Structure 1
């Protein structure tokens, strides 16, 4: 099948051809005709299968007729991250080159001024993250009553990031008569409920099994006898140094790990930089541009970059630990081995990661070969265990503090006895009072305030 058979306009086919594409992917071949016929769509396909073009191409054809109005976008595309939103915008610029369509990008980390100006001029396509969209609506800069087509992209990632309440709020602001397209790499029960709630007689399209890894990716697991951070960072460096790496992505489960791992790699002479949601948009954009241009070798990332990072030729992917959600393993390693290229993926598994790794193996339903760089086991055995080192410090300090406290406590005890004997006029009540200080009381002058001397 070719794009000519999908019912797209001549102008759009020319743009597709100039972009270098002739045959649609399975998700595109099934989704494009259904979208052009105004059907609601639930599309399931793993990352890298062309989901974005599957809704961008028919949307451009639909928008060729009609005109935009101020503050009232005609179509709305919701994305979970700024990077994904920017990638969709790039697709519209590429495929809409022969159409005069206006577009606005509403994402966090960008000043409101330019976004306000674009909305006032009227846009055909509004690409937004849920939080910034709600901000603009509540500021009165946006009306959603003119939306003809809604796209919820990467719905399962929306679920993971806690955006489902925002999606429900946004959908209530849209007109009931609209076309709703929902795309996701996986289909957990919560997303199925969302599709049932906001779609009418939707067509389900499943281009591939959700948890299937590409055959072009060689997978490895590095199993460690100890799982402390120092051992893991050492193992990661030795794995990197043992392979011929063109460029790679290192995925961490927590943002704080991203910064620590990136700093450790740089300290040991590797070309690495972090990217995660807490960094400013300008910093994230600059880092991604350097990585895409080949000026950065290693990108240390949280799962914010697991989807939507459009770098077709990534040679290696490293998991600092198995992901908490086994589905994310497929999306992480799917950054390599794309478009028929070969790729390698390595996952570091410590004793505390075994359950997560077992869930990954169950999900992908295949064995992963173990890998151990030369000399790593000996190097790890020579590393001092952090628990024993900390224990030694606690033991020494506790001994010192005990010996230093004992005479002071004894002195206080004798002082208490002597002071209580000296204040015997008021009986046992005064025995509960603290001893009078021998010298000046710092911060209270040279006397003890009367309220401290009252009987209890």
Structure 2
């Protein structure tokens, strides 16, 4: 392979891996972490052979592209050995993967989802797996694979060797390492979350509408042999890819929604030089090794500061120089500040010819541009949840306010009085109501149905429901039980119109035996009518 001198992580990790100790390795991306666990594994596994469906070692990777790359490295490193391997990733034929497992594999390289799927189908057993490698652990945490990883660990033998590698060491990663490793040897060859010194970085602040134009000018101005262009969202990957192709650039697209066959062929064409520009999401930001990658363009500022370290780490690998340029909008100030705080370095400003440089906005910058997350309704003028400001309200002249039409009193709900309603038995309340109606209308002019209704004694339940001081949700006073909330009484069958019920819709309830609680003065027993 042309390796003459080990990198710092390889020189410190390989001896402890050969000793059989657990290792916690933290190093910059592109420093040779893959070889630091693959090369000693070849030496350890060369003494015996594997059994059917029982892999001897397991390497977990967060993405399919990274798993494919590790498998390629294993084939190249173990060219003159008889060791076998199997690749378990989604989007591929499960029958072929089962056939490879049945033949017996020494090294199993897999993503957590497909591994658990085959295990539940009875396709493999992991009782003989003596070595576990968790690569890109911080990416596992970001993608939500940690519960799957924890379940996989429970399926392995407790007498195993665990190798834990990551480019960053967040507090969550430290807790996972303490849970998975036993007396590990911690190796940190550089400060976590730093960018290689040979990478030339730059930051251009432009308006959102000028980002594509600025990107095209940067590509034409720089001596770009091949470049990765990162976007935060998958749909922005497709939009930018079509825009670059329209302007005559040799470009391809790569994101998680594409079929696995398309993703594999596109990445292979890019490595072979058939495609010059690869527009991608963060699926290609971890561990992908592309020889001689000259540039990395962050079309969107990454929302998570750690992603900036991984994106820029695709260039400037193995001691070579590289360039990493970022296009930011005025509202990305907070994301840029988080990146500079994480890396401990300020990103130098970058001028783009023919593009006016913008300034940071006055807000805190937590609202992402094309990232989609963190945006607030104030930045969306068409958002229906946006509250109208005072200056946006239509102005009305003072004289126009005085001549506004009064609301129709017949259609508005009458105001409830604060005067308490005197409670009285139903036998006395009904004659008074009939006498009041007789004062308003002659007795002979009343309809027959109204005269019958006036002669019929009223139920106290109905009169109680008409009282304005006792709403539907009001609780009974003095701790007494309310008749309207009895579970054995369904109440009157009525049709409601808002909060008011027309009187002609009320029907009498069936008579029932009075309750002892109802016999008290505030709750008189219902009167029995002639019907």
Question: How high is the TM-score relative to the length of structure 2?
Answer: 0.67
Q: Contact 2:55 / 2:105 at 8 angstroms: preserved in 1?
A: yes
Residue in structure 2 matched with residue 210 of structure 1 by the alignment: 192
Residue in structure 2 matched with residue 342 of structure 1 by the alignment: 321
CA RMSD, 1 decimal: 2.5
**Structure of higher CA gyration radius:** 2
Deviation digits for residues 194-253 of structure 1, max 9, x if unmatched? Answer: 1111211111011111222222211111112x3x3x332222222222222111110111
Residue in structure 1 matched with residue 483 of structure 2 by the alignment: none
1:32 pairs with 2:14: yes
| Aligned partner (choices 241, 246, 263) of residue 262 of structure 1 | 241
Tell me the CA shift for residue 378 of structure 1: 9.3
1:45 pairs with 2:27: yes
Tell me the CA shift for residue 178 of structure 1: 0.5
1:312 pairs with 2:294: no
Tell me the CA shift for residue 323 of structure 1: 0.9
User: Which secondary structure does the structure 2 equivalent of 1:292 belong to?
Assistant: helix
Residue in structure 2 matched with residue 369 of structure 1 by the alignment: 348
CA distance in 2: counterparts of 1:378 and 1:51, whole angstroms: 39
Residue in structure 1 matched with residue 158 of structure 2 by the alignment: 176
Q: Contact 1:312 / 1:339 at 8 angstroms: preserved in 2?
A: no
Tell me the CA shift for residue 377 of structure 1: 1.9
Q: Contact 2:50 / 2:56 at 8 angstroms: preserved in 1?
A: yes
Q: Contact 1:275 / 1:300 at 8 angstroms: preserved in 2?
A: yes
Q: Contact 1:220 / 1:370 at 8 angstroms: preserved in 2?
A: yes
Tell me the CA shift for residue 265 of structure 1: 1.2
Tell me the CA shift for residue 372 of structure 1: 2.3
User: Which secondary structure does the structure 1 equivalent of 2:71 belong to?
Assistant: helix
User: Which secondary structure does the structure 1 equivalent of 2:356 belong to?
Assistant: helix
CA distance in 2: counterparts of 1:339 and 1:66, whole angstroms: 33
Pairs within 5 Å for 1:149-188: 149-188=131-170
Residue in structure 2 matched with residue 107 of structure 1 by the alignment: 89
Pairs within 5 Å for 1:295-306: 295-306=274-285
User: Which secondary structure does the structure 2 equivalent of 1:304 belong to?
Assistant: helix
User: Which secondary structure does the structure 2 equivalent of 1:39 belong to?
Assistant: coil
Pairs within 5 Å for 1:421-440: none
User: Which secondary structure does the structure 2 equivalent of 1:357 belong to?
Assistant: helix
CA distance in 1: counterparts of 2:323 and 2:106, whole angstroms: 41
| Aligned partner (choices 20, 34, 40) of residue 2 of structure 2 | 20
Q: Contact 2:232 / 2:281 at 8 angstroms: preserved in 1?
A: yes
Structure 2 gaps of 5+ residues are 359-377, 383-503, 506-531
Residue in structure 1 matched with residue 220 of structure 2 by the alignment: 241
Structure 1 runs, 4 residues or longer, greater than 3 Å off = none
User: Which secondary structure does the structure 1 equivalent of 2:59 belong to?
Assistant: strand
**Count of paired positions:** 371
Deviation digits for residues 263-297 of structure 1, max 9, x if unmatched? Answer: 11112222111101111111011111111111111
Residue in structure 2 matched with residue 326 of structure 1 by the alignment: 305
Tell me the CA shift for residue 367 of structure 1: 2.7
Residue in structure 2 matched with residue 91 of structure 1 by the alignment: 73
Q: Contact 2:210 / 2:355 at 8 angstroms: preserved in 1?
A: no
Q: Contact 1:322 / 1:360 at 8 angstroms: preserved in 2?
A: no
Tell me the CA shift for residue 100 of structure 1: 0.5
* RCO higher in structure (CA 8 A, sep ≥6): 1
Question: How high is the TM-score relative to the length of structure 1?
Answer: 0.77
CA distance in 1: counterparts of 2:348 and 2:88, whole angstroms: 44
The farther-off stretch of 364-373 and 257-266 is 364-373
Q: Contact 2:225 / 2:293 at 8 angstroms: preserved in 1?
A: yes
Q: Contact 1:242 / 1:373 at 8 angstroms: preserved in 2?
A: no
Tell me the CA shift for residue 172 of structure 1: 0.6
CA distance in 1: counterparts of 2:344 and 2:102, whole angstroms: 52
CA distance in 1: counterparts of 2:316 and 2:177, whole angstroms: 31
Structure 1 gaps of 5+ residues are 1-18, 380-386, 392-454
| Aligned partner (choices 268, 272, 279) of residue 289 of structure 1 | 268
| Aligned partner (choices 108, 111, 115) of residue 126 of structure 1 | 108
CA distance in 1: counterparts of 2:171 and 2:202, whole angstroms: 31
| Aligned partner (choices 230, 250, 261) of residue 271 of structure 1 | 250
Tell me the CA shift for residue 182 of structure 1: 0.5
Structure 1 residues 288, 151: CA separation in 2 closer, same or farther (over 3 Å shift)?
Answer: same
Structure 1 residues 64, 268: CA separation in 2 closer, same or farther (over 3 Å shift)?
Answer: same
